[in-house]
Amino acid sequence: MDPAAPDERPPTILESAVRYDRRPAVVLLVLLPLVSWIWIVVMARDMYGPMTGASAWMMTANWDGPHLLLLWAMWAVMMTGMMLPSASPLLLLYGVVARRSAQGTAARQVYALAAGYLMVWTVFSLGATALQRVLAALLLVSPMMEVTSPQIGAMLLLIAGAYQLTPIKHACLRTCQSPLGFLMSRWRSGLSGAFGMGLEHGAYCVGCCWALMLLLFAGGVMNVTVIVALTAFVAFEKLVPFGIHGARISGVFLIAAGFWMLVR
């Protein structure tokens, strides 16, 4: 028999994950991002349309506790939709390993890992909410969540571009690109261990991508085109082998675009 026959070769990580851990994979990598993106699109269409539906609360002049909570929720949902798909290699690989070491609790541990990862981005969303309110108070961001000054937009491009070239960006990106290495060096057992690993990996992901999120302010926080482009670029950086080269090239491009906006 041919040793390379399809029924004789060992299954890939993706095949193993789908075969044995189908429910967590579907919930975390399909349903949750899908619901998040539906919410984003509904909000964006209403914001750039009648503003009488899902986005009507953003036109308030009184940013009290409930309105700030809604703004934070908007950021948290947006970060879930943008960032969770790029963590798919980690979640799938962890599911395979967890099933072999703790079959009875493997699914719950995958959920715990994802919860830790999303917790970090939820905390990041608090910072993004605070930054948006500060910029709005200074009249640097409009009620449509777009910067009101080309100079501010240029500065955001320069900050994001410069960070793309830094060693800390590249170190965080390398960790994000190597889920197997991350799991081998930082493995912790049980639900609390999975949650802790999710927190740690999420911190590396924020370290990799926080500056790119500034581009949401430059292009419009609820601009679907900008959100889709950033989501695709983040996935490109983290999922392809030459993502670091892409980070360097994008850094140079963003810096050039920032200077062009300043001098035009």
Q: pLDDT tens across 101-121, in order?
A: 766 788 899 999 999 999 999
SS percent in the chain: helix, strand, coil, step 5? 80, 0, 20
Instruction: Report CA torsion sign: 182, 185, 190, 193.
Output: negative
Q: What is the pTM of this model?
A: 0.90
pLDDT number for residue 58: 85
Cβ–Cβ contacts within 10 Å for residue 143, how many?
12
Instruction: Report CA torsion sign: 212, 115, 195, 243.
Output: negative
Distance CA 264, CA 259 (A): 9
Q: Tell me which DSSP letter residue 145 carries.
A: S
Phi, psi of 144 (to 5 degrees): -85, 5
pLDDT number for residue 1: 46
pLDDT number for residue 12: 54
Q: Which residues pair with 147 in a beta bridge?
A: 141
Question: What token pair was written down for 129?
Answer: 């909410």
- Contact of 240 with 246, CB cutoff 8 Å: yes
Pairwise pLDDT comparison (172 vs 146), residue with the higher score: 172
pLDDT number for residue 100: 79
**Closest by Cα among 121, 43, 131, 132 to 85:** 121
pLDDT number for residue 16: 55
pLDDT number for residue 13: 52
Percent of the chain scored above 70 by pLDDT? 91
**Closest by Cα among 192, 199, 185, 186 to 87:** 199
Which amino acid is present at 261?
M
pLDDT number for residue 14: 52
Cβ–Cβ contacts within 10 Å for residue 177, how many?
19
Segment 73-99 mean pLDDT: 93
Model confidence band, residue 82 (pLDDT cutoffs 50, 70, 90): very high
Q: Where are the domains of the chain?
A: 13-263
Segment 5-30 mean pLDDT: 66
pLDDT in tens, 157-195: 999 999 999 999 999 999 999 999 999 999 998 999 999
